[in-house]
Amino acid sequence: MAEQARLIDIYIMGRRCQVPEGLTILTALEYCGYRMIRGCGCRAGFCGACATIYNFKNDPQLRYDLACQKTVEPDMYLVQVPFFPAVKALYDLEKLEATGGKVLSLYPDLVKCFGCNTCTKTCPQELEVMWFVSDALRGDIREVADKSFDCLMCGLCAARCPQGLVPYNMALLCRRLYGRYLTPVSEHLEERITEIEAGKFDADIEELKKTAEKELRRKYTERDMEPALEQHWE
């Protein structure tokens, strides 16, 4: 009786799959149920049609190979990578202190930044990534949150960083800390939350839930709006 091949974990478009060890990327995709119509070519390493980009769990560095020749490896991320699986610190936001020291304790590799600015040049949002990394090193959480506000979490900064830093995950931590602990409390928001918790709008919500779509659209169009909002939408 033939010995059964060992199964390994791979990730296809973010979905975890188990495949026999020794399969090529191409055959692993087909083993998992994908019908390869394009990008499969000659299957012999000659045509180049199956050029593939891949990376690994907790390692955002992109690698390149032919899918018909490269064998799968444990924790390999294949095909359209929906995110870069870079290292992300685990934490309970409610138990953190909003200090620069805490940020550095969760992302200590930040000190390895030597200012090459590759992250900034890579950012599709044209954010000053290197500058908010510098702000994090100085412990300025507010500046990090402000400068990274438009971050899309695409992970390209981590994929290109020669030091293996993960600026986008660090910046997300700073935005969370800033929003949870450092943002000034809005009195209007606090008042509205109190009203909601007291059930002030329960009857109105129940009525809206029973209203037909056409009537809801009418109510929305005719709703009262503050002058500033009216000016904004004109």
Confidence of residue 224 (pLDDT cuts 50, 70, 90): confident
CA distances from 149 to 30, 67, 91, 106, 125 (A): 40, 37, 21, 20, 10
Claim to verify: residue 105 and residue 168 sit in the same structural domain: yes
CA atoms within 13 A on the CB side of 98: 18
Let me know if residue 173 belongs to a domain. yes
pTM flag (> 0.85): no
Let me know if residue 54 belongs to a domain. yes
Beta carbons within 8 Å of 15's beta carbon, 6+ residues apart: none
CATH code of the domain covering residue 25: 3.10.20.740
Claim to verify: residue 141 and residue 64 sit in the same structural domain: no
pLDDT for the residue 83? 61
pLDDT for the residue 62? 82
Claim to verify: residue 115 and residue 154 sit in the same structural domain: yes
Q: What is the pLDDT of residues 87-113, one digit of tens each?
A: 899 999 999 999 999 999 999 999 999
> β-pairing, 7-12 with 59-66?
unpaired
The one-character DSSP state at 9 is: E
Count up the domains in the chain and report the number. Answer: 3
Could you say which of 28, 50, 78 is where a domain stops?
Answer: 78
Give the separation between CA 6 and CA 190, rounded to whole angstroms: 57
Give the separation between CA 110 and CA 102, rounded to whole angstroms: 12
Let me know if residue 51 belongs to a domain. yes
Let me know if residue 218 belongs to a domain. yes
Closest CA to 123 of 84, 85, 159, 89: 159
Claim to verify: residue 102 and residue 178 sit in the same structural domain: yes
CATH code of the domain covering residue 120: 1.10.1060.10
* pLDDT-above-70 percentage for the chain: 92
Let me know if residue 178 belongs to a domain. yes
Claim to verify: residue 74 and residue 99 sit in the same structural domain: no
What does residue 217 show for φ and ψ, rounded to 5 degrees? -65, -40
Helix ranges restricted to H, the chain: 25-31, 100-106, 118-122, 129-137, 141-147, 156-160, 167-177, 187-197, 202-209, 213-221, 227-233
Contact 103, 166 (CB under 8 A): no
Let me know if residue 228 belongs to a domain. no
Could you say which of 78, 110, 125 is where a domain stops?
Answer: 78
Q: Which residue segment(s) compose the domain that 217 sits in?
A: 187-223
pLDDT for the residue 231? 44
CB atoms near residue 116 (< 10 Å) = 13
Claim to verify: residue 208 and residue 159 sit in the same structural domain: no
Q: What is the pLDDT of residues 166-210, one digit of tens each?
A: 999 999 999 999 999 999 888 999 999 999 999 999 999 999 999
Give the separation between CA 218 and CA 136, rounded to whole angstroms: 48
Let me know if residue 156 belongs to a domain. yes
Long-range contacts of 15-19 (CB under 8 A, 24+ apart): 19/72
Give the separation between CA 230 and CA 234, rounded to whole angstroms: 6
Claim to verify: residue 175 and residue 192 sit in the same structural domain: no
Q: What is the pLDDT of residues 70-85, one digit of tens each?
A: 999 999 998 765 566 7
Q: Is 14 left (phi over 0), alpha (psi -120 to 50) or beta?
A: left
Could you say which of 24, 43, 78 is where a domain stops?
Answer: 78
pLDDT for the residue 43? 87
Torsion of CA 161, 167, 168, 169, to 10 degrees: 120
Average the pLDDT over each of 8-17, 62-71, 126-135, 164-173 and give the range with the smallest value. Answer: 62-71
